[in-house]
């Protein structure tokens, strides 16, 4: 299946908006590095990075650490519970849009 990079950008924009809304409120809890990951087989890495950037989000590119996935950071949101809520909101939007999403949880 070919990757629709325009749809990827549009869906990431909606995910970012959901994350920003979900991150509002208390930020208790411990610092964490929760991050949304997306699996895009045979995707052009530069086009994915550009789609993420156009959506106002950040990825370093494809990682092989837990399989071939792109780790996409949430928008600015804090580092405790608010980050967890933001990442979960992003993942929900992207899953509902049909993307292969997992959330990476890391607690310090």
Pairing assessment for the beta strands 100-104 and 35-39 based on DSSP bridges: antiparallel
Provide the residue ranges of all domains of the chain, joining segments of one domain with +: 5-104
Q: Is pLDDT of 60 > 90?
A: yes
Confidence grade of residue 108 (pLDDT, cut at 50, 70, 90): low
CB 99 within 8 A of CB 51: no
- In sign, the C-alpha dihedral spanning 33, 75, 103, 6 is negative
pLDDT at 107: 58
Q: What is the DSSP letter of 78?
A: -
H or E element: which one contains 34? none
Residue 84 tokens read as 């967890």
Higher pLDDT, 32 or 25: 25
What is the mean pLDDT of the segment spanning 48-68? 94
Q: What's the CATH number for 5-104?
A: 3.30.70
pTM for the structure as a whole: 0.87
CB 20 within 8 A of CB 90: no
**Distance in angstroms (rounded) separating the CA atoms of residues 97 and 108:** 31
């Amino acid at each position: 299946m070919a990757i629709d990079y325009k749809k990827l950008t549009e869906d990431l924009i909606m995910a970012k908006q959901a994350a920003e809304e979900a991150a509002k409120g208390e930020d208790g809890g411990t610092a964490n590095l929760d991050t949304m990951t997306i699996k895009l087989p045979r995707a052009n890495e530069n086009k994915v990075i550009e789609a993420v950037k156009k959506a106002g989000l950040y990825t370093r590119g494809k990682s092989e650490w837990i399989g071939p996935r792109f780790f996409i950071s949430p928008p600015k949101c804090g580092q405790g519970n608010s980050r967890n809520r933001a990442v979960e909101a992003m993942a929900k939007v992207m899953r509902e849009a049909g993307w292969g999403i997992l959330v990476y949880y890391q607690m310090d």
